[in-house]
Amino acid sequence: MSEHDAEGVVRVFRHWHEAVPNDRMAHLVKDATRCFLRALQVRLARHHVQLGHWTFLRILWQRDGLTKRELSMEAGLMEPTTFVALRAMESLGYVSLERKAENRKNIYVYLTPMGRQLKDTLVPLAEEVNAIALRGVDIQDVAATRRCLLAAIDNLSADEFLPGTDLPDVQI
């Protein structure tokens, strides 16, 4: 870790523990996400995999053969951004981009054998990051945090499509 990166980590730590311990949940989630991603990015880089490719690989390991549009939607990215990443991943040998004879319009994304094999190497890295992040946290607290974050995701997702509508409470 560079000195600049270390200073950033210390700044985030102090911010949450000293400066604004009761700041908004959104800010806390954003900073936690940045810490998770930074830790994962360092590990992925050791295997010459970009963090941006991780998202697509993770989706394709679950559902190979999606269209470029479906993959963009699942990743939450614009299609041009997805296409640039997919071209890079294709040149690295992780995916192949194909059109089907019956539908020349859609581009389908398939993992190559190399892309599939990356799962065995990369998933343990993500599991390691999660284990480090949750070290010393009680299992009940982890479960409560998951319930809280899932409720926030559900509520905000529903609000995006139904602004101003009260939704029934969902038991998770």
Phi-psi group of 37: left, alpha or beta (phi > 0 → left; psi -120 to 50 → alpha; rest → beta): alpha
The CB density around residue 54, as the number of other CB atoms within 10 Å, is 19
Contact between residue 150 and residue 171 where contact means Cβ atoms under 8 Å apart: no
Give φ, ψ of 98 to 5 degrees. -135, 150
Residue 167 clears pLDDT 70, i.e. is over it: no
CA angle 64, 70, 71 (to 5 degrees): 60
Separation CA 126–CA 61 (nearest Å): 14
Tokens in use for 57?
Answer: 């690989």
Residue 7 clears pLDDT 50, i.e. is over it: yes
Residue 11 clears pLDDT 90, i.e. is over it: no
Section 149-153 average pLDDT:
92
DSSP-assigned letter for residue 120 = H
Name beta bridge partners: 73. none
Q: List the chain domain ranges.
A: 1-46, 51-121, 134-164
Residue 70 clears pLDDT 70, i.e. is over it: yes
CA angle 50, 54, 60 (to 5 degrees): 140
Separation CA 45–CA 43 (nearest Å): 5
CATH 3.20.20.70 fits 51-121, yes or no: no
Residue 27 clears pLDDT 60, i.e. is over it: yes
Question: What's the pLDDT tens digit per position in 88-143?
Answer: 999 999 999 999 888 778 999 999 999 999 999 999 999 999 999 999 999 999 99
Total residue count of the chain as it appears in this document: 172
CA angle 126, 129, 134 (to 5 degrees): 130
Tokens in use for 129?
Answer: 């990051």
